Structure 1
Amino acid sequence: GEGAEIGRKRRRRSRSRRWEENSRNVREAEGMHGMPWRDSVAAYTAPEFDLMAGTVAKVSVFQTTRKGGVLGFEDGGAAAPLSSSSSSSGRFPPSAAPSSPLLFMPFWEWQMEFMKSELTNLRPSSTVTPSGVSVGYNENRSKGARIVNHCYASDEYRKIRMTYYDAGDSVQVFNSLWYPQLKYDLPILGIDLLAFGRQRYLTVVDFQPIHATEGEHASRYERALQSLRQPYRSLQGTMTDRFYDSARHFSSQMLFGRFEDEAAVRDELWPACRGYTAAHLDLVRGCVPDESREATERSRGGQRRYDNYSARRDPAHALFKRIFGEEWADAYVYDFLFDLSEPGEEEELSHGDVKR
């Protein structure tokens, strides 16, 4: 009826205003290092600017592109706006078909557009660690690898960290973690997408529990995820215990894929990842916030245990030591990726908790 149409128009106007406000807040952060990249380890010069530290330095990115092309960027090295055929439209872009060297860049682009249109008071956070190490960008010319990191916060999320690691056809990685504000005692949204040699693919998307025993708390969101997960057969695999204990900080409705057919990225991973991301925000919005000291300390303790557990087991730590050096890798893992962690600290269980 007329009332419903008025409501829809108001929601559209509200979303449009939110997108405009958030875009102004993150535009400068998005422009760092020419993001979103359009080709693998391409040649350009982009400003490295940390909004919190207020420093600018030129970063020369090396020429080792698969296609041999040089990207064209607008002022300051910023990438051109997304076209109508980009990931913002909801379709997997033709430019990200198997011929594209940046397989997971559409996931980065879609996430940025989703954050700008759906989150409240989205703002960039510093990518300089407390020890003064800048982790926003790094490269190793001789090994043909580069990494970029963004970090954001909103009224809904304490921290949203985004990472893209580009080593040409040998390795492509998109990783993101969404930590709810501490007033929401909720799981962390974890996204980890890896491609090796464009022949082997390992993907994880999950609502990662922050407490060892979730009980009814977990059953609410796991029931909702079950219907989202059901159509995607290639994402219903079982995680091994090589790096992580699947009974700790992983849910029973985790999207886990280990496959060799790249078409699954487009056909299953693309819609499934977007569905889980939207569902996580719905979970946050539907949660009654509790800002009492007891509640926020419980959430902080759970997120800290998650960070300690993840920092000590992250297999990327050894890779980044080899590529970028030990000092940078340690600062990156302990002070940025998992900033509530303490090197060497054991992740204790909550009092009375047991594994699920």
Structure 2
Amino acid sequence: MEFGSSFGTCFEAAKPHLLISTSSKNTNITLRSRTQRFSFRVSSVSYKEFAESALEETRKRIVLEPSPLQERYSSMTGLDGKTQLQMLAFKSPKIRLLRSMTIENETMQVFDFTGFMKPEYDTPIFCANFFTSANMNIVVLDLNPLHQLTDQTDYQDKYYKNIMSIYHKYDEIFPWGGKLTGESIKFFSPLVMWTRFSSSQDKHQALFSAFLEYYQAWLEMIIQVKEGMEPSQVRVIREAQHKYLTWRAQKDPGHALLRKLLGEAKAKALLREFLFNGVDELGTKTFIDYFPEYQTDGGTERYSSMTGLDSKTQLQMLAFKSPKIRLLRSMAIENETIQVFDFAGFMKPEYDIPIFCANFFTSANMNIVVLDLNPLHQLTDHTNYQDKYYKNIMSIYHKYDEIFPWGGKLTGESIKFFSPLVMWTRFSSSQEKHNALFSAFLEYYQAWLEMTIQVKEEMEPSQVRANREAQHKYLTWRAQKDPGHALLRKLLGEAKAKALLRDFVFNGVDELGTKTFIDYFPEYETEGGTVSEKRSIIGKSFATRPWDSNGQFIG
């Protein structure tokens, strides 16, 4: 889940924390002091007290009443029978929805606390999203702006200029947490606290204090804001909030967790009806209406996420394009026993650069990695292509060849689709190895990205046709013989797996050409005219690396 914002100066971190007892029928709050010593078992951190402290402060200044959502959403139990979800929902004359969700089990806690104003008021959205596991805390705390601040500096001056001191009070304690996408950053303010940290008593007390200070600042805005917007302004505010909700309902990173905990149907209902309530009521525009850059050639985001037949395995997909790149796509698969990462980049046929290919598989005992810039054209027949794209970057491979040795036999057929840059390896997990893999992935990708920047469009029609057919041949091979097929069939069933493979993972196999697998690889045809299930027909395999240190094929 994305993470939020809050404020306040009336509470010290040392103040005894508060626990809440509530139900959907009775919204009165029972408070008791929390006096036991703080420890860093996950079960010892309770975000319910954050919500209760904020609500207690709210009631001092604003009349709250239960939202109709409280009757429908008060508590849920996860599919595992252990995970508990607790929800609270309120409203006031100015607040459309003030809602809280906490998730707790033995391994994690999640806190999602948000406040949305009625469209007659342009106050920012209060947003606090906290995630705690045994080893890590992830925090987003912000007053999300209704309007993009780069376009509306007066809005920034109105709501943020005089409270930046709150952020600076905590910026050294909670440093920036890493990369945020250019798309998501538009929904944050300069007040945002986006951080990751290991648990400590000081950090959790500081977070509690920061949460209250942010929340009190937002509460003060609510009290001070006046109604009286022009109808046109109310429409603008309504659309701005709807755009925010539409983004969150589609792209919030907490979706996968909820699907894992509740299953697809319940997770979707909770997201749209409770967490991002208003996405179906405040406007009629779709995600693509607001963010047309996400539209695929098929017209919609057909593939963004899926849940396996076991209701636990989550598949997350991303897909992009550019003036030169036909498809840049990612697929991540996660469950309790495995993780899979499949990241690929395909150029438009007017450009002959290699295909970026990263396929990683992790289980409890083993990691299997293929990382390469797959050549469009077979290098033994096109030495000029090898000189053009691989000769000057072989040093990247040699930087990692001792850390990641050759992983074992590859068939003679599949080796044709790899370059001398290929990292094909197996290893047992270690922090050092995973750090090195991350570094290698980025170096390979940066090399490919530089190629996409430098490459010039091919103007010769015959060469464009050759590039198109080469990419189609590659996709046809992968769509038929890729070793990941069996896993997808097991996770999704035959029909969904086939659609995912042909429409998304190997997109282009049905569009870039008309030749069949047998047309390209006649040696695989059986007497009955079908494709042989064998991985190799020629029977040759390579147990050791078949290129020398200069990248020349030695077989």
Give the TM-score, by structure 1 length: 0.67
Are the counterparts in 2 of residues 135 and 328 from structure 1 also a CA contact under 8 Å? no
Match of 1:237 among 155, 166, 176: 176
Corresponding residue of 2:58: 115
Instruction: Give the distance between the partners of 2:38 and 2:55, measured in 1 at CA.
Output: 17
| Rounded Cα–Cα distance in structure 1 between residues aligned with 2:235 and 2:38 | 43
Pairing 1:222–2:171 present? no
CA distance in 2, matches of 1:324, 1:220: 41
Q: Structure 1 pair 344/262, CA: closer, same or farther in 2 (3 Å)?
A: farther
Give me the whole-angstrom Cα distance separating, in 2, the residues matched to 1:238 and 1:299.
30
Secondary structure (helix, strand or coil) at the match of 1:346 reads helix
Give CA deviations for 1:94-133 in whole Å, capped at 9, x if unaligned: 56554653432220220121122121x310112379xxxx
**Match of residue 204, structure 1, among 140, 143, 153:** 140
CA 1:155–1:97 in 2, change beyond 3 Å: closer, same or farther?
farther
- Inter-CA distance 287–112: structure 2 relative to 1 (3 Å threshold): closer
Asked if 1:324 is matched to 2:262, the reply is yes
Distance 2:178 2:139 in 1: 10
Superposed counterparts of 1:255-294, under 5 Å? 255-294=193-232
Shift of 1:327: 1.1
Q: Which has the higher contact order (CA 8 A, sep 6+)?
A: 1
Tell me the CA shift for residue 225 of structure 1: 2.6
| Matched residue type, 1:123 | E
Identical residues among aligned pairs (%): 20
Q: Which residue of 2 aligns with 1:31?
A: 22
1:172–1:194 Cα contact (<8 Å) kept: yes
In structure 1, which of residues 107, 119, 124 is the aligned counterpart of residue 66 of structure 2?
124
Unaligned runs of 5+ in 1: 1-28, 33-47, 52-77, 87-92, 350-356
Structure 2 partner of 1:145: 83
Q: Secondary structure at the match of 1:267?
A: helix
Q: Which residue of 2 aligns with 1:173?
A: 110
Q: What count of residue pairs does the alignment treat as equivalent?
A: 264
Distance 1:118 1:128, change over 3 A: closer
For the structure 1 residues 296 and 96, does the alpha-carbon distance in structure 2 shift closer, same or farther, using more than 3 Å as the test? farther
* Number of the residue aligned with 1:104: 47
Structure-2 change in CA distance of 1:221 and 1:95 (3 Å): farther
Once the two structures are superposed, what CA deviation does each residue of 1:270-322 show, in whole Å capped at 9, x if it has no partner?
11110110111112222232244222211111110010011111122221112
Q: Provide TM-score, normalisation by structure 2.
A: 0.44
Deviations 1:135-181 (A, max 9, x none): 3211026352110111110123111011111112x111111111122
Distance between the aligned counterparts of 1:142 and 1:256, measured in 2?
30
SS at match of 1:245: helix
Greater than 4 Å deviation, 4+ residue runs: 48-51, 93-97
Q: What runs of 5+ residues in structure 2 fail to find an aligned partner? A: 1-19, 292-555
Say whether 1:345 aligns with 2:281: no
Q: Is contact 1:308–1:347 with CA below 8 Å preserved after alignment?
A: no
CA separation of 1:30 and 1:105: change in aligned 2, threshold 3 A: closer
Per-residue deviation at 1:256? Answer: 1.8
2:120 is the counterpart of 1:183: yes
Q: Which residue of 2 aligns with 1:195?
A: 132
Moved more, 174-183 or 136-145: 136-145
Q: Check whether the contact 2:121–2:225 (CA below 8 A) recurs between aligned residues.
A: yes
Kindly indicate whether the alpha-carbon contact (under 8 Å) linking 2:124 and 2:146 is maintained by their aligned counterparts in 1.
yes
Residues 275 and 162 (structure 1), Cα distance of their counterparts in 2 relative to 1, 3 Å cut: same
How far did residue 214 of structure 1 move? Answer: 2.9
Letter in 1 for 2:121: Y
Change (3 A) 1:347 1:143: farther
